[in-house]
Amino acid sequence: MQVFASIEHLQTNGQVESANRVLLRGLKRRLEKAKGTWADEVPRIMWAYHTIPQSTIKETPFSLMYESDAMIFFEIQESSPRFQNFVAKESNEERRVNLYLFDKVREEAHIKVEALKRSAEYKHKSKLKPRKFQVVDLVMRKAHPYQLENKLSPKWTGSFCVIEVLRNGAYKLETFEGGIIPRTWNEANLKFYFS
């Protein structure tokens, strides 16, 4: 039995990019005039991000982490309704109930995230057009980052001939001069070449 590996570009799941996009959007809104003070605004924007319920899980990241809702600065002041209506005994009982239910809240958030991932995966797969190549098909392969000199460099290289179809979308290629490409290539990194 032979095992084949295809070259792939590692891709992230987009969580960091998504969080950075939220951070940048918040910075742009807060810094209409004073663009040089962005570093002072980052903690406030991060606090807002962690204490506002997320659209996917309907919970705040702070509450999922610390098992309690956060209080903002204005709620700590004596004039706020939350401060005036505070009763220590009721608060302790409510805290015990919250701790008891916390695992269920976290599990529900996990289920919502998984459902969202599966929905996004289904939408993505429904739009994909599968590429199946045959032996002797002419293809181009995606260029490696080291082959790209600048932004205007071609994103696809060469024209190659498929010489062997392997399983799981892997293909062996050769050049027109008959030189066999040493590695296998995944169908995601190939496209048809039309001369």
Cβ 112 vs Cβ 57: under 8 Å: yes
For residue 123, CA distances in Å to 2, 117, 119 come to: 34, 10, 6
Does residue 33 surpass a pLDDT of 80? no
Class for the domain spanning 138-192: mainly beta
Domain boundaries, the chain: 14-127, 138-192
- pLDDT for residue 2 is more than 70: no
User: Which pTM does this prediction carry?
Assistant: 0.44
Q: Please, which pLDDT band fits residue 35 given cuts at 50, 70 and 90? A: low
